[in-house]
Amino acid sequence: MKNVYILGSTGSIGVNTLNVIRNFPDRFHVSALTVNTNTQLLLEQINEFKPDLVVVKDKDAAEKVKHQMPANCKLLVGVDGLNNAAAGLEYDIFVGAMVGYAGLAPTIEAIKRGKRIALANKETLVVAGEVVNNYCKEYGAEIIPIDSEHSAIYQCLVGENIDEVEKLIITASGGPFLNKDKSFFEDATIDEALNHPNWKMGNKVTIDSATMMNKGLEVIEAHWLFGLSTEKIDVVIHPQSIIHSMVQFRDGSIKAQMGLPDMKLPIQYALTYPERLQNDFERTNIPAIETLNFYEPNFEKFECLKLAFDVLEVGGTAPCVLNAANEIAVEKFLNNEIRFSRIPVLIEKALEKIGNHQLLNLDTIFECDTETRNFVRNIN
């Protein structure tokens, strides 16, 4: 029986993690659930999974829910609650399902305890990949990625020598605007940007898919997860989202991991590795697929993707600036404060304005993140 801490239990990844755990009641116990504001769903999850502890990040939401909590379930509040739970609770697997920079600090606490990190939070590695990797080595923690693309690469590399890898090929659906001209971005609506053809995700991640920033962040993640340089990481548009990523080896052979666009598969793999447990998930019907298409990404159209490759080359705190600027720019778009086309513009302005620091530690990263957010909040 493995105890599981779920950071972000009411989001898409968190809900799917609980869907997986529901199938294996003799294998997993939910030790902790954490949310920001969605206490209604949290209460339903508490009733079913009976965690030892919950954390509500938003203090007003915590105040509303505290009198509805079961007596045997402890409630913690705020960012400190997230960090204290990660640092002090008994658990075996930490599921980093929270979207955004806020997921970094509790993930670091889990790493310091040498836990298995089932990681879906892109920002942890994007803004602090070098620091995170150093901590993992120091404390003996392991990261198994939940992102379907990184899970695919991880699975393709099992039993292989990383030195024999010629290239990682990360697939991208192309999002809702794959077949739109760049001029369309000027008047793209929020509903249009959130209308992803294949995946059901939270709003922020879905907008990142529309700009292809999600793929840029995944490139940076892949660099830190697998220790390969930018030159050995490619992005390929694959609209069907059946091949989740590929690994090309130096002899020219290519391994691909395939499956339906269902996040439960990589989540289960991260929870149960190295085992593959039987489940009742829908199977891939190969003859029904008929066609698999692949295209080169258009870097001129999807500027955010190019920016991500650029900052990976620059290094230092540049990826932190990219991430923080993107989070605020996406927030502004979702609040109808800027046009969709302005998202990469604001990110570029932040990269030009905020100084880059090559010597990284968590304090430097925190300061850079705060400075970037304040800057982007005050421009349009």
Residue 127 · residue 323 · CB < 8 Å: yes
Residue after which a domain boundary falls, among 309, 324, 348: 309
| Residue the block writes with tokens 């120091």 | 138
Nearest to 57 by CA among 30, 71, 75, 37: 37
CA 373 to chain centre: 19
Q: Which residues pair with 118 in a beta bridge?
A: 95, 144
Whether 121 and 32 map to the same domain: the answer is yes
Main-chain dihedrals φ then ψ at residue 270, nearest 5 degrees = -65, -35
Nearest to 228 by CA among 256, 252, 205, 250: 250
Task: Specify the pLDDT at position 94.
Answer: 98
Six-digit token string for 81: 């609650």
Task: Specify the pLDDT at position 102.
Answer: 81
Residue 85 lies in a domain: yes
Whether 33 and 137 map to the same domain: the answer is yes
Residue 176 lies in a domain: yes
Beta-carbon contacts of 248 under 8 Å, excluding residues fewer than 6 positions away, are: 165, 166, 167, 168, 169, 254
CATH number at residue 72: 3.40.50.720
The number of domains in the chain is: 3
Whether 319 and 186 map to the same domain: the answer is no
Whether 156 and 256 map to the same domain: the answer is yes
Residue 106 lies in a domain: yes
Residue 304 · residue 213 · CB < 8 Å: yes
Residue 105 · residue 16 · CB < 8 Å: no
Task: Specify the pLDDT at position 198.
Answer: 76
Whether 185 and 86 map to the same domain: the answer is no
Whether 140 and 54 map to the same domain: the answer is yes
Domain span at residue 41 reads 2-145
Task: Specify the pLDDT at position 278.
Answer: 95
Long-range contacts of 176-181 (CB under 8 A, 24+ apart): 176/209, 176/210, 177/210, 178/237, 178/239, 181/301
Whether 343 and 302 map to the same domain: the answer is no
- Helices marked H in the chain: 12-22, 39-49, 59-65, 78-88, 104-112, 122-139, 148-157, 190-193, 203-211, 213-226, 264-272, 286-289, 303-314, 318-334, 343-353, 362-377
pTM: 0.93
Residue 275 lies in a domain: no
The full length of the chain comes to 380
Residues of the chain under the 50 pLDDT cut: none
Whether 206 and 305 map to the same domain: the answer is yes
Residue 260 · residue 282 · CB < 8 Å: yes
CA distance 280 to 283: 8
367-to-239, 320, 321, 347 alpha-carbon distances in Å: 38, 10, 10, 17
Whether 58 and 110 map to the same domain: the answer is yes
| Residue the block writes with tokens 């990797």 | 133
Residue after which a domain boundary falls, among 85, 112, 145: 145
Whether 129 and 189 map to the same domain: the answer is no
Task: Specify the pLDDT at position 339.
Answer: 97
